[in-house]
Structure 1
Amino acid sequence: MENVSQLLTPILEPIAEQFRSFGTPAPIVHWGHPLMMGIVVFFMGSFVGLAGWRGRVLADTDAANKSRADHRKIAPWMFLFIALGYTGGVLSLVMQHQPILESPHFWTGSVVVILLGTNGIISLAGFGGNKAALRTVHAYLGSTALCLLFLHAVLGLKLGLAI
């Protein structure tokens, strides 16, 4: 993976240099990604997960439908913010002249993006004709991604304190 990192860093460096030229204070460069992503993960992610599960388990049909609608409205935005944050996190490391693609934080983030992307594809495919098994896979895959995001946050805090 070191070879890939050595290939990517020079490609990303001009972008990082452009952002460095804005004169953003070092604490914002260092802690901006974790702060913004913490908001997305803890607030948006918790809401999306809770709304999705409420839509599955509530006996009140109206409340369940509202939860499913809320889940459908917010989940794509959450995925977009996660994907952008993933990119921003890598760029933040380049801006700070730190190695990329090496930390457990990077790997958990990569797995989360893959899991959430897969979940989005399942949803966009109409759950294979509204198959209950694919809806169940979607629910547990999303829950796994959210749990992994909490671990990801802990690993990110550890990384942030180490650099």
Structure 2
Amino acid sequence: MTALRFLALDTETARRYQAGGLDANGQTPERQISGGGGVPCRHCLRQIPEGMPFLILAHRPFPQAQPYAEVGPIFLCADPCERHPESARLPDMFADMDSLIVRGYGHDERIVYGTGGVVEAPAIEARARELLEREDIAFVHLRSARNNCYQGRVERA
């Protein structure tokens, strides 16, 4: 059975954005104040508490622009936060969601057609494992089922 590794946004990228670095659209991240739930930080993988500042920015979780390198909005704590540790289990923040899009990408960092779908939270680990057992799948992205926003990445452990 394929062992999994769930990954939050890396600290170097988070710190660059938190320091005012430009996002994937060349814009400075927007600063907002959290109204409570529904503002998940992609670095610490926690909901940003009510009254706390956070960033909204366009993120491309790929090293280079290409047709399949999706760009979309993400939230981050405005102040430095601790990265969620790599985990063999689905992080609690994702387990608390109803469902996510689970999609496989090839070694060329392009979508592998037929791999994407909306998966209910209890089945996400099994679906990610199933995809990563295929040799043509290099990694899996987790995305919001409602808004298609990038949530995290899954790799072979």
Q: Please, what TM-score do these two structures have when normalized by structure 2?
A: 0.25
Larger radius of gyration: 1
| Structure in which a larger fraction of residues adopt helix | 1
| Structure in which a larger fraction of residues adopt strand | 2
Q: Please, what TM-score do these two structures have when normalized by structure 1?
A: 0.25
